[in-house]
Amino acid sequence: MSENLYLPPSTSVEVSPPLPRHPGQGSPYGGYHEVGVLSKVIAGILAVSVLGDVIYSLIDWTNLRVFSERSFDDESSFYLKVTRLSEWIDNVYLILWLVLAIIWCVWTSRVCKNAWLINSRDGATAIYRGRKSYSPVVSWALHFIPIAQFWIPFQAMAWICDASQKPLGLTMGKLVGAWWSFWIANLGVGVMTIILYSGAETSEELAAFYRVSLVLSPVPILSTVYGGLMVLRLSLIQRLRASDLGLR
């Protein structure tokens, strides 16, 4: 029978059953991804890197003494040993950083997926300051894009952190900003040392290069330390938040 047009409209509302709450609801990237092992591997590699930076500083100090002497002999057995040690550390560094780059990309992709999941389940309490969200691929791929690598990865990591934490509880504090600041500074130090070393020809110029290198040596160490602390802290926050929300 058709509805009577002369009767007042019905005020009753049909209530649909709520959608089931399950891990991954509201997130396009599935459920929670464990990052504990990856974070520890990254921290371990970065710890070895810090040790390498300290050894590099000792080598620079030794080279400074050698090149400061008027009777410098580049054929001396001592200088050849120092040179071979430096070359060996360079090769180890190259392997470590290649491995680290791969693991860092995988870790970044996973924490980004976790941030989407946590924010979709608990967006009301997440510290979300209106930042633009980033996909897991973009969050790590732009590390390798010129110009964009100086800013976008920081924005992506800042969003990941904001979407993962909540106002009351364990937070990231200033770790992300400190890590990025020292990372950019470390890039500048690297470019500066390459320019200075390539232009050094005399013993006096090489001695000046090693003086500058020693003065700037804390920058890569601080960059590495803050990077490791950020990785461990964010991984811990996501694990705790996922446990609170029943996602793991």
The DSSP code sequence of 41-93 is: HHHHHHHHHHHHHHHHHHHHHHHHHHHHSTT--TTSHHHHHHHHHHHHHHHHH
Q: What is the predicted pLDDT for the residue at 15? A: 43
Work out the number of other CB atoms within 10 angstroms of the CB of residue 238: 29
pTM, 2 dp: 0.80
For the chain, give percent helix, strand, coil, nearest 5: 70, 0, 30
Task: Give pLDDT tens digits for 27-84.
Answer: 788 888 999 999 999 999 999 999 989 988 988 888 888 777 755 555 566 667 777 8
The CA dihedral of 221, 60, 189, 204, to the nearest 10 degrees, is 160
Confidence of residue 112 (pLDDT cuts 50, 70, 90): very high
The tokens for 202 are 């005399």
Task: Give pLDDT tens digits for 156-192.
Answer: 999 998 888 876 567 788 899 999 999 999 999 989 9
Q: What is the predicted pLDDT for the residue at 21? A: 38
Task: Give pLDDT tens digits for 126-145.
Answer: 455 566 788 999 999 988 88
Q: What is the predicted pLDDT for the residue at 56? A: 87
Q: What is the predicted pLDDT for the residue at 120? A: 82
Q: What is the predicted pLDDT for the residue at 16? A: 41
Task: Give pLDDT tens digits for 216-232.
Answer: 999 999 999 999 999 99
Half-sphere exposure of 36 (CA within 13 A, CB side): 8
Query: What is the distance between the alpha carbons of residues 122 and 173, in angstroms, rounded to a whole number?
Result: 20
The domain limits of the chain are 36-244
